[in-house]
Copies of this chain bind each other. A is one copy, B any other.
Amino acid sequence: MEILMQGEHLESLIAEIFPQVGGDFSVEEVTEDGIRLRLLVAEKHLRPGGTVSGPSIFALADCAMYLAVMSRIGPEALSVTTNCSIDFMRKPEAGRDLFCEVRLLKLGRSLAVGDCLIFSEGTESPVARASLTYSIPPRR
């Protein structure tokens, strides 16, 4: 899978397409089969007790998968998430950023499928896993 967009272009893309949340994410690396994305954890992502909320973890997985697809097909495509299955396995560590590692498993003409592992920074056991399907509209 050829890489068409690298980190800084991907970050510009998020800022444009998701203006409310663009600043929450940082592209750590475009990897051989996907991407690694950081969630810069802030007050708005937390539940009482300091743990990151489920919807914030979902948003991280969703954005990471979107960017992984964009990194391979380029910014012109209007793809949308059609399905996500997510398992919350452990409580995230308080006061730490989260990382999401996406692995693209299929990049077809109309559907892309990938899975994600999400970690608290500096820990080895994933806090969550997710798999997502994206629908890629036909080129004109």
| Contact among B44, B53, B62, B125 with A54 in the assembled complex (CB-CB below 8 Å) | B62
**If the complex has contacts A87-B113, A89-B106, A135-B111, are A48 and B62 also in contact, measured as CB distance less than 8 A?**
no
Number of copies: 4
Interface flags for A48-63 (1: CB within 8 Å of B; 0: not) read: 1000011100110010
A41 interface residue, CB < 8 Å from B?
Answer: no
Question: Closest approach, in angstroms, between the C-beta of A19 and any C-beta of chain B?
Answer: 7
Pairs across A and B, CB under 8 Å, 27 listed:
A17-B48, A18-B47, A20-B43, A21-B55, A55-B55, A55-B58, A58-B62, A58-B84, A80-B88, A82-B89, A82-B111, A83-B85, A83-B133, A84-B84, A87-B105, A87-B113, A87-B133, A89-B113, A105-B126, A106-B126, A110-B110, A110-B135, A115-B115, A115-B129, A115-B131, A129-B131, A133-B133
